[in-house]
Structure 1
Amino acid sequence: MPQIFHQVDMLLEKLPLHVDVLIVGGGPIGALVVQRLAAAGINALLVDAKPRIEADPRALALSWASFEALDRVGLWGEELTATAITKVHISQQGTIGRTELLASELGLPALGFVVDYDKLARRAFNTLSESTAKAALGYRVSKITRLARFAQIKIDGPKGEEQLTARLVVLADGGQLISQLDDIIQTIKPYHQHAILAKLTPSEPHGGMAYERFANDTTMALLPNGKDFTLVWPQSPELASKRLAMSEDDFIQEVSRRFSGRIAGFSSVASRASWPLALKTLNSVVGRRVVLIGNAAQTLHPVAGQGLNLGLRDATTLAELIISTRQDEIGEAAQLARYARLRKKDADLVTHFTDGLITYFDHPGPLLKHGRSLGLIAMDQISWLRKGFAKRMVFGAR
């Protein structure tokens, strides 16, 4: 029988007194780790404060490597109604600078897929309930006390407070628990921006093309999502509020003006929403008996679509490291230091690249504008440069 603990109207089984690995966060990243560990016979438990997945307007751009990682553990399915990205068009408004990244150049069926976040998160929850992985949904970790040989965890659930111990605690979510970790410091860099998310129906079929657009006043993205595009449009909070209140026609005109010459236009817009943006990083992704992955380790600006892809590579690396480690070495300082070394290059490069898109590429001015244009022209003309960049976006830094 699958070992799953729900918050439902029935008698709950008691949580185990001890596990080798406790994973906090039942989204795709945490679910990937616990599924990989369960398949390898590792004594692991996943807990998530949410008993169910609520509607969420966000869409995710998942790389081909992320698709493979999710598919391997049953976290991919037809109900995701994923849209393949076969090409990415990158351009600078007001110049001839442009390039295209093609799946065919990498020998792949697609560079990646676009999925709705709530569909993927619901798939993760459903898969947990159908597998042999142990999961407790509707249980919230309230306190982590770390000792030399194990961590002691307090969990609030339907029956009140329970306690268990673990050799290693993995924070795949639960960012609020970071304040309890005295050896890990979080730095938050506000972008003073809100991202508008909207669904736009193009006047002509998108053909699996995603767009990254260096507009004169911001960096924007359009992701193919079903027959529509999902728009990611960062801007000041004041402008975001104003544009959310615009008429449908006025909003479409604002977007179309920034994609002029690249897209024929849009026939309708729906599902407009916005949220604040910030870069969150840590001085270390590991501490005594704890490791942080995914959004708990780093929260990135969404415009390059790399946040979840980076987190899934965190999850894959960590799961493989735990599986290859002796039981009595799980959570030991040497194991955690090795994980930190394995992930540092990829995490640093993706974080700096994403932050650089906003910090440097968002600034107006003719010199920067034409410099970006020349860079895109060079990438378009030099195949090894273009293919190398595409591989980094798909597979990360190795």
Structure 2
Amino acid sequence: MSTLPGHVDIAIVGGGPVGALVALRLAAAGHDVLVLEAKRDIGQDARALALSHASREALNRVGLWDEARLAPTAIEKVLVSQADTLGRAELSAAEIKLPALGYVIGYAALAQLALERLQAGSARVSLGTPVTGIRQLARYAELSIATEAGPRQLTCRLAILADGGKLVDTLAGIRQTVKPYDQHAIIATLTPSASHRHIAYERFADDGPLALLPRGDDYTLVWTQNPADAQVRLALSDHDFIAEVGQRFAGRVPGFTAVGPRVSFPLALKTVNSVADRRVVLIGNAAQTLHPVAGQGLNLGLRDATVLADVLAATPRHDVGETATLARYARLRRRDAGLVTAFTDSLITLFDKPGPLFKHGRSLGLLALDQAAPLRRGFAEHMVYGAR
């Protein structure tokens, strides 16, 4: 976009998958929508995403799912186990009558597709346009924007923040709480010696949980470690790194023949006291940033976007930023967001407790889940659809 408007009904800050989904839905419903994205292009991003089957359906409805472009790898089963015990549970897509529990794709491919669909759609899009601040007023929100020509302001009836939380500190009525986990996530690609058969693994070892996500013919490894141990693991030779991963799975997965480059990043839980306040609403990572242990972060954000789009698509344009409208959205998202956030955080707390008593208690819990078919199916459905 060459010229920014002075006013729009709805300004969406962030053009990633979450912001793109709500923008495409609202533009199709006839709303006046402007997307402000700080980046001009996606750049290099090697992250892998585990998207639930419900997230795939939500993306597909707005043209954000392309099999050829995204090359998704289906997850048909998830095997969860506790190291050094008999505790295990198996979740299966077939048991809840779905083709897959989820799909593993590359973040960069989805983000690039989102930008292209936005630019081809009816929403207005401005790339390379960072928003530096927000002033909340009774009738509109005023965004401060950095442009090549210098700073300028834009007003809107409603500002939707899908930017990952960069602007939360500029809001008067919303406070963010950060809970550091004192953990780093190590990410790497592992090539298995035999087919993964579309099975994902979640393994709770004494020194941190590991997840193996099938992607193409390989696995994406997500291994949570304390910061010091993460640095030690990053410095290992490929042979020794593979041996350490294999040791923690204790023969439950095929061996590995190769490992790719390894990176790590710190982990923290970020939450806000409210997802909406005076002409501003937060969705996705702006509303909550979760530990990757259960792979629920983007899935939760896409459900945020879907529900917000449902609410606003049925709202007259002059009411989109009104208190009653935002309160309705917040009420609809409270249970799902609250339960998924608490569940993810409790997994870290529960499985981080040392000692044989806690370990065998966790083992019994997994065995009970595996043996109780209604409980197992309900748990799998919650992982796919959230708390409904």
TM class by smaller structure: over 0.9
Secondary structure of the corresponding residue to residue 205 of structure 1: coil
Is the 2:32–2:123 contact (alpha carbons within 8 Å) kept by the matching residues of 1?
no
Instruction: Name the structure 1 match of 2:232.
Output: 242
Paired letter, 1:22: A
- In 2, distance between residues paired with 1:149 and 1:131? 28
Aligned-residue offset at 1:164: 1.8
Larger mean CA deviation between 138-147 and 226-235 belongs to 138-147
Instruction: Name the structure 2 match of 1:181.
Output: 171
**What pairs up with 1:169-208 in 2 under 5 angstroms?**
169-173=159-163, 175-208=165-198
**What pairs up with 1:83-232 in 2 under 5 angstroms?**
83-173=73-163, 175-232=165-222
- In 2, distance between residues paired with 1:364 and 1:262? 22
* Length, aligned pairs only: 387
Render the CA deviation track for 1:112-166: whole Å, top value 9, x for unaligned: 1001111111111111122222111110112211111111112122333332211
- In 2, distance between residues paired with 1:174 and 1:392? 24
Is the 2:202–2:210 contact (alpha carbons within 8 Å) kept by the matching residues of 1?
yes
Secondary structure of the corresponding residue to residue 262 of structure 2: strand
Render the CA deviation track for 1:175-204: whole Å, top value 9, x for unaligned: 221111111110000001110000001111
Secondary structure of the corresponding residue to residue 27 of structure 2: helix
- In 2, distance between residues paired with 1:67 and 1:271? 28
Render the CA deviation track for 1:313-352: whole Å, top value 9, x for unaligned: 0000001100111222111111111111100100111111
Render the CA deviation track for 1:364-385: whole Å, top value 9, x for unaligned: 2111111111111111111100
Secondary structure of the corresponding residue to residue 8 of structure 2: strand
| Unaligned residue ranges in structure 2 (runs of 5+) | none
Aligned-residue offset at 1:174: 5.0
Aligned-residue offset at 1:71: 0.8
**What pairs up with 1:339-358 in 2 under 5 angstroms?**
339-358=329-348
- Does residue 25 of the first structure (1) align with residue 9 of the second (2)? no
- In 2, distance between residues paired with 1:19 and 1:116? 33
- In 2, distance between residues paired with 1:255 and 1:242? 13
- In 2, distance between residues paired with 1:158 and 1:62? 36
Aligned-residue offset at 1:37: 0.5
Paired letter, 1:61: A
- Does residue 324 of the first structure (1) align with residue 310 of the second (2)? no
Instruction: Name the structure 2 match of 1:68.
Output: 57
| Unaligned residue ranges in structure 1 (runs of 5+) | 6-11
Larger mean CA deviation between 332-341 and 158-167 belongs to 158-167
Render the CA deviation track for 1:63-83: whole Å, top value 9, x for unaligned: 000000111111111211111
- In 2, distance between residues paired with 1:226 and 1:103? 19
- In 2, distance between residues paired with 1:372 and 1:116? 32
- In 1, distance between residues paired with 2:354 and 2:220? 25
Aligned-residue offset at 1:259: 0.5
Within the candidate set 278, 285, 302, 1:288 is matched to 278
Within the candidate set 353, 356, 360, 1:363 is matched to 353
**What pairs up with 1:251-266 in 2 under 5 angstroms?**
251-266=241-256
Aligned-residue offset at 1:217: 2.1
Instruction: Name the structure 2 match of 1:279.
Output: 269
Instruction: Name the structure 2 match of 1:8.
Output: none
- In 2, distance between residues paired with 1:257 and 1:186? 39
- Does residue 44 of the first structure (1) align with residue 33 of the second (2)? yes
Secondary structure of the corresponding residue to residue 278 of structure 1: strand
- Does residue 314 of the first structure (1) align with residue 277 of the second (2)? no
Is the 1:24–1:174 contact (alpha carbons within 8 Å) kept by the matching residues of 2?
no
Paired letter, 2:331: R
- In 2, distance between residues paired with 1:32 and 1:157? 25
Instruction: Name the structure 1 match of 2:368.
Output: 378
Paired letter, 2:47: R
Paired letter, 2:10: V
Is the 1:217–1:363 contact (alpha carbons within 8 Å) kept by the matching residues of 2?
no
Secondary structure of the corresponding residue to residue 101 of structure 1: strand
Paired letter, 1:124: A
Paired letter, 1:257: Q
The runs of 4+ residues in structure 1 deviating greater than 4 Å are none
Paired letter, 1:72: R
Is the 1:57–1:271 contact (alpha carbons within 8 Å) kept by the matching residues of 2?
no
Secondary structure of the corresponding residue to residue 285 of structure 2: helix
- In 2, distance between residues paired with 1:214 and 1:178? 33
- In 1, distance between residues paired with 2:261 and 2:48? 12
Instruction: Name the structure 2 match of 1:9.
Output: none
